[in-house]
A and B are shown apart, each in its own frame.
Chain A
Amino acid sequence: MPLAAYEEEVMGYSFIEYGELGRPKYLVLGIPDVGLVGPIASGHLVRTLGMNDVVGIESYGYLPPAAVVVGGTVKYPLRIYVKDQLAVMVTEVMPVTSGIIPLSIAIVEFSRKRGIEYLVGLSGLGNPTRAESQPQLYWLATTPYAEKLAAALGGSTKRLPDGLIVGPYATILKESVKRGVNTLLLLSDSFVDIPDPEAAAVTLQGLSKVTGVQVDVSQLMEEAETLRLRLQSMARETKDTLAKMGKGYEYRAPLIYS
């Protein structure tokens, strides 16, 4: 792990910059949620685009005392990778339940301070019949600028219908609205509690359209079964944390409807 050149603390999380983040246009978020769509998609992006990690995110209050070893190098469990206009946040370890909201606020605030134009969240939308259907992509935007970005997705991608969102992205969306941050959330139908590489591939195809960065998902599809095996423990941990956050509320209709 290289020496930190700059360190900033937001909401109990330290953003430790040991490389050159610069001012990327997009920050793609791969936070664990339904189907582990975010972590699978962000991991694939980093590998296929050959991105370099430049920022580590650490919290001795909200994250377990874990260090990740990759190729003999010690790394932070949460990292931001960058290449040209695209930055990607990779999450290897889920924070404790009480650390999810501070992390979500910290990400939005860090992006705002660093002048990142768009936050793009990649996540899953639990669909009980996902095993018998192809995943459909949905989007949700926090500002008119983010809505313009979504226009590139085309007519086949729908705006998220009325409902409730529970979890890290719910806080990210609310904080983005409050702070005027352009956030676009891409959600794909996915398995509820089984890692879903196919759903991750669908969100990556959507990301390619909105950012113009071409991402080949063929390797992701070929390795889907291996990934599902590798991520079984992470899926279990994520389900546990999300259940404690009240994820079950997503499966009911809102009081006011359009």
Chain B
Amino acid sequence: MIDLRYAFILAFGSIRSAKLRSTLTALGIIIGVAAVVANVSIGASFNQYFTDELGSLGSNFIIIYSQDVNIFYDTELELIRNTPGIEGASAFNQQTAPVTYLSATRQIDVQGVSEDAQYISNLGVAEGSFLTDKDKYVAVLGKEIATEKFDKNISVKNYIDITIKRDDGTSVTRKFRVKGILASEDNTFVTGGPDRDVTIYVPIATLNEMLNVTDYGGFSAKTGSAESVQEVSDEVDKRLARALGVPTRDLDNDDAKPYRIFNQAEIIEQLDTVTNAFTILITMIALVALIVGSIGIMNIMLVTVTERTSEIGLLKSMGYTKPDIIVLFIMESIIVGVIGGILGTVLGLVGSYIVETYLGVTPVFPFYLIFLGFFISVFVGLIAGVYPANKAANLNPVEALRHE
């Protein structure tokens, strides 16, 4: 049996003797492997990006929306606060309202929250401070409201007018002192909550008084750890449902409840599903490129076998067995595959780094990608080499020797 070391030397020598041909053949694998590696890396980077973005909202975040009016009151807020595992809860109401500053009026989302909201939603304050439950007519502005929305920048201690429309058709306008301005967070999508950059936060009691209501649109809450979020959220769900008179048999039926509850884990899970599906799709397309590349290797190996027919005859006359010849030719096609695989992996990593940097997501390179690229190329080389190697091994030595 031929020593694999010698098989490698012979096969490598043969590849080196036809540099241009070998390079072009490897190119098919380079492109295929690069595409697979880049797609997996880009998919992983986007996944990480979404997870990070959601993390900035509040990593252990639970949000509950009421589906109807007069569902949520302080009783429910207390109930959530007292659920084991909950570290903070805030009620909220929201209205898109005309806001006036220095005679300019803009439509802006006004969000009524309690002081816990800063902790729950990780609201960073750049200037001034966040509102407290004792505050009355104060507002905390998103970064964009303060710097872009109006002709002149709004600073802490300036005053703005907010006009709230009630259900009975009347409206009420109050003057609010700007108490704080939030730090900008580049988390402007899929948060399940309001976009903090373009929201004005006011005390929930003040907003409800202006609205002339006592119920809430929903609650946000935070759990002690990310691991417990699903468990705690289920417990909150159960307690809320019981308190609101949902029959026990309907506890698993979301349509039977007058509210919707979401948690961070579920949102991340849904995003994972979407990004994974997308990654799988584009990786499939890349695999097609890889198949084309492997057909390229097979084609060249068949040409090589024909070209070296007399050489194969010579090897057989020297005592090389069929397995020896098979090893020689498969070795050759694996080497072409591996060279293509190494270059393709490097190209894929560089390419995905450029794309990810351009798109502004943090590049993520799962370590297994290097092994993935390597094993794909070995596998492709092996598969592409089997048929030509068999053809070579089965040549009749007498006819092969006579071949010119």
Q: Do A and B come from one complex?
A: no
